[in-house]
Structure 1
């Protein structure tokens, strides 16, 4: 009978077998105790039969009480052995007490030493039986030969040891060694698995045919992790990771915790911790509205906002599924963390002034984060009229509704593509910025629409936050590359020199919230994105850290090809964050304030009315002309007017 046959037994059958085994071990321990005490082979007589029966009668209920029959032998470790020792300890007290009572009752004399010897032998037999079952049922002897992955664990600390224990119960991974930076640990072993120094990794990979390296260093700094990844990048191994220490707070590592490298690892930059005072300034105890709440940035803004305990969070999106998903997720988050935040999902488009004005009138938000936008460059380039109606006039609708209803702070989520744009998306976002700059400079604003009042007093503080690409968002290059890697390639790069600024979604959302809290009116904040990343280098890095090689002219037998597809319409080689120069510093190390020129509202409004008419009639040639007249340094690609 092999171990897989036993694993296929029902749970009740397994428990019955284990209980029967413990009964046999209790009787065997009793026989050995009498034999050792009497110094001869023993056969029970008289009242001794009652003593033999005491073993199973007392031990089985106590073991049940301590949950020893709920444990799965393949996964048992020190915790289960400790519980077994405690159970046998309680059993010892009951068993020895019963023997003493029998002597007090002047029954046939039973040696009191049996009351000590039998529990000690019983504990030894139970512990050995559990250990043998664990190793045999886990099939550890066959893992190295049959495992799908031959693994090194980088990190011989608690997380690494727990990971090895979790992996020991699977046939997917065979743990062949630990690696640790601490020289004092090199040469030692953890549960029979040797610990090596980092310098030995290349030889181990070669000699032991290592296929995977798992980073089990959740407390290491981003800088240290990046240094390790640089050394592993040249090796033909797949590098994966465990979550951060905060994600492992439960103290138990499972196989499900193993995942692909964090986006932060690919970025190779240490995020700056947020300033709690700035985060809470416009959020705690207030009603907050997020437009585009179902999108990548909007949903992350919502996650960060609820943690600051607003009274009410309004979620506005025209995408029903996206709105449903983020609302359900936030409900779960609030319930798990005990957050008393009212969550209001609102279906609607920012392109409808009546809808957004009605929302602001009904709920009176104190702060608005306007993240709703069409942001995919090729799609907006192919649909310029819709892009402008949503990005430009959706922003104007929201800003106007905010002013009419006394919203205190209004923060626009902008983009680096608004700087000297070459595409409609970037130009539309720059006009959205200009609208808020013009409105911020006006104390009383008049609108052309007949339905609007003659003048609206402006007490709203407007601000814009401009940043580059966010890793992991819809349409981001990292999820695309991972999908292409899983399909065997090729990885598609538009141009060998295309370069982008990158930031993670959580970091971008935190900085947006903090920047908005520093606004005084008309501010254009720019997030410091670190050094720009060449997309081709990112592709090479992801291929290497997946344990594969790039197929090119120098290595025709490589695993993954990187294909250059050509720049898409409106796409730039390099992105910028500033139109002007000499940005101002702020109280946050990663947030700058730009000095940007704008058009006053009286002049801007007339040109916006003309742009709106051109967009409503889908006059693409006229749209292009108006964009060139409105946006400084706009250098458009040709808009396809054949549709």
Structure 2
């Protein structure tokens, strides 16, 4: 519709509203003087009303997509126009008789009636246009296949958005039959034309009675335990469960149903959403030159995504894998064309290259995520583990301190606690060195320690998925193998929060929740794939690999942790090793690394990390019991659970 036609329509409906207001005020029988007054006042009243609408920007609003915010703006414009007309009526009332100007008086009653009429007329034509457009669009988007009968689980805000989207998008071939919701106040109500049929406990019977073909979970932020319960109800009803990934998929009141997917293992393990002190994190990153090592890895790439959202002045992506660097750089520049994102091919153990990079870029903030992480692989290659995880970390930390960076944040692992592997021992050695730097450094050097992240490259979940796709068997090392898990975005959010909180020398420990049995993960993934254990696919126990523990700890019983002001971030109570002693051990470790004698290397590593010891593992059939205990300590009321063997 052309703009000129919209102006004409607005003028016509305003004129009609004004005339109707006169008729209503005088019960449909206008005296002759009032007819004259209507003819005299109509043009200037309508012109003034449209002028106010124009001043409020109503002419720029899209008729096709009018919504509640637009309606509020139209109401404000109509009220303002009526107030101006009322003020003119009051002023003209003081002019003495006889005068033609008095014919310009608009009765107060007419003004009172005209306000709602004008508002309804202006909004009404726009909603009529929207309805017409949606009808045409709906016919154009007729589904090519029969619509799938879908039960919506959750009648909250997200559920209403989904229902609205399904109504306007028949091409999605989804037909919502109603809601289920555990809020008793919603029972029996109708929301956006769909009835609330019962609670989630009624889901199996409703699916059978209403011939439901799938259930869509429309609760983006519920805990994993709720998703698990609903998934099991769907499984008992023999209908697939779908889900909307998260609240970040719902932007500006719009839900992207193209991202609807099957329930995944990440949904079953999800926890409450992380709450950040955004102002603190913004001040930590915004407007600064930030360097991130390991930028192409699972953790590093997600850190860089979140950093981009915080507005750094420049982001330096340091990565030795050309392909990984190419992919993350292309992704970030496409998503944030306004940012200065610099890809830097570099190995953190290449001292000349890293020195030149720091000298040229002078980063304010350094996030160190580069590391070798695969436990069995590093048992076979201990020298490379020491070179990268210890001396690579030392090189980056020294450069950060030497070039006056404001903060250096190292990402560590729960495998550094009482390490039984080369990987864990080298990460603990790096923690010791980074902590010793805080003694005389103006740079705030901190470490953030957490457990496994879901879906990272080479981790257990992608391996299980690959094994399931190949028909099995799914291999689990031991029936009592347990790990802490956290999603990659959650871990990275907490890393940034901890980095912003740090004052120097802290080893922060993230609250990982409760440890999860790896065999339970395998069973969940098999069920989510629509298969049954033993009937369709087997689980085989292959034995614990070199360097692995049956459980991981986030802090030792001797260390303990103290609360911070963030409920999911704790600070470890670790005694610092004197800097001179650390340097002595590092000198011996470097000499052993140069000699390439494995025995000397391991002995030197134990000198720096005396708690490092390799352990003998029982066979899978001789699994000892595992218990979760919390050490009582009045000084540390916020201890995280520590898994210990009995």
Question: Which TM-score applies when normalising by structure 1?
Answer: 0.68
Distance 2:412 2:479 in 1: 27
Taking a change above 3 Å as real, the CA distance of residues 363 and 197 of structure 1, as seen in their structure-2 partners, is: same
Of the structure 1 ranges 230-239 and 620-629, higher mean CA displacement relative to structure 2 is found in: 230-239
1:368 deviates by: 0.8
Taking a change above 3 Å as real, the CA distance of residues 206 and 133 of structure 1, as seen in their structure-2 partners, is: closer
User: Alpha-carbon deviations, 1:146-185, whole Å to 9, x = none?
Assistant: x7xx6433245323424644785356x6766643445655
Structure 1 residue aligned with 2:505: 522
Taking a change above 3 Å as real, the CA distance of residues 523 and 162 of structure 1, as seen in their structure-2 partners, is: same
Structure 1 residue aligned with 2:97: none
What are structure 1's unaligned runs of at least 5 residues? Answer: 1-77, 83-122, 444-457, 552-557, 639-643
1:204 deviates by: 4.2
Distance 1:390 1:413 in 2: 14
1:255 deviates by: 5.1
Structure 2 residue aligned with 1:566: 543
- 1:308 paired with 2:310, answer yes
Taking a change above 3 Å as real, the CA distance of residues 402 and 219 of structure 1, as seen in their structure-2 partners, is: closer
1:359 deviates by: 1.3
Q: How does 1:178-257 map to 2 (within 5 A)?
A: 178-181=179-182, 184=186, 186=188, 195=197, 197-205=199-207, 212-218=214-220, 224-225=226-227, 228-229=230-231, 231-232=233-234, 236-249=238-251, 251-253=253-255, 256-257=258-259
1:541 deviates by: 2.8
Question: Which TM-score applies when normalising by structure 2?
Answer: 0.68
Structure 1 residue aligned with 2:632: none
1:277 deviates by: 2.8
1:392 deviates by: 0.5
User: Alpha-carbon deviations, 1:82-113, whole Å to 9, x = none?
Assistant: 9xxxxxxxxxxxxxxxxxxxxxxxxxxxxxxx
User: Alpha-carbon deviations, 1:574-622, whole Å to 9, x = none?
Assistant: 1001133332221211111112234323232232223223334432222
**Partner secondary structure for residue 560 of structure 1:** coil
Taking a change above 3 Å as real, the CA distance of residues 131 and 287 of structure 1, as seen in their structure-2 partners, is: closer
User: Alpha-carbon deviations, 1:521-542, whole Å to 9, x = none?
Assistant: 2211111111111122222233
Structure 1 residue aligned with 2:593: 615
Structure 1 residue aligned with 2:482: 499
Taking a change above 3 Å as real, the CA distance of residues 369 and 460 of structure 1, as seen in their structure-2 partners, is: same
Structure 1 residue aligned with 2:58: none
User: Alpha-carbon deviations, 1:377-427, whole Å to 9, x = none?
Assistant: 122222211111011100111122122212221111000000011111111
- 1:430 paired with 2:417, answer no
Distance 2:289 2:194 in 1: 57
Q: How does 1:527-546 map to 2 (within 5 A)?
A: 527-546=510-529
Structure 2 residue aligned with 1:138: 143
**Partner secondary structure for residue 540 of structure 2:** strand
Q: How does 1:5-404 map to 2 (within 5 A)?
A: 134=139, 138=143, 142=146, 151-155=150-154, 157-162=159-164, 164-165=166-167, 168-169=170-171, 178-181=179-182, 184=186, 186=188, 195=197, 197-205=199-207, 212-218=214-220, 224-225=226-227, 228-229=230-231, 231-232=233-234, 236-249=238-251, 251-253=253-255, 256-261=258-263, 264-335=266-337, 340-404=338-402
Distance 1:174 1:492 in 2: 40
1:432 deviates by: 0.4
Taking a change above 3 Å as real, the CA distance of residues 536 and 408 of structure 1, as seen in their structure-2 partners, is: same
- 1:577 paired with 2:578, answer no
Distance 1:177 1:213 in 2: 10
Taking a change above 3 Å as real, the CA distance of residues 152 and 523 of structure 1, as seen in their structure-2 partners, is: same
1:267 deviates by: 1.2
User: Alpha-carbon deviations, 1:89-146, whole Å to 9, x = none?
Assistant: xxxxxxxxxxxxxxxxxxxxxxxxxxxxxxxxxx9xx99xx79994996356x55xxx
Q: Is the 8 A contact 2:291 2:318 kept in 1?
A: yes
User: Alpha-carbon deviations, 1:42-92, whole Å to 9, x = none?
Assistant: xxxxxxxxxxxxxxxxxxxxxxxxxxxxxxxxxxxx989x9xxxxxxxxxx
Taking a change above 3 Å as real, the CA distance of residues 523 and 258 of structure 1, as seen in their structure-2 partners, is: same
Taking a change above 3 Å as real, the CA distance of residues 169 and 308 of structure 1, as seen in their structure-2 partners, is: closer
1:263 deviates by: 5.4
Distance 2:437 2:486 in 1: 29
Q: Point out which structure has higher relative CO (alpha carbons under 8 A, 6+ apart).
A: 1
Distance 1:484 1:193 in 2: 42
Distance 1:478 1:369 in 2: 26
Q: Is the 8 A contact 1:422 1:570 kept in 2?
A: yes
1:311 deviates by: 1.4
Distance 1:255 1:629 in 2: 56
**Partner secondary structure for residue 304 of structure 1:** helix
1:436 deviates by: 1.1
1:188 deviates by: 6.4
Distance 1:306 1:160 in 2: 29
**Partner secondary structure for residue 314 of structure 1:** strand
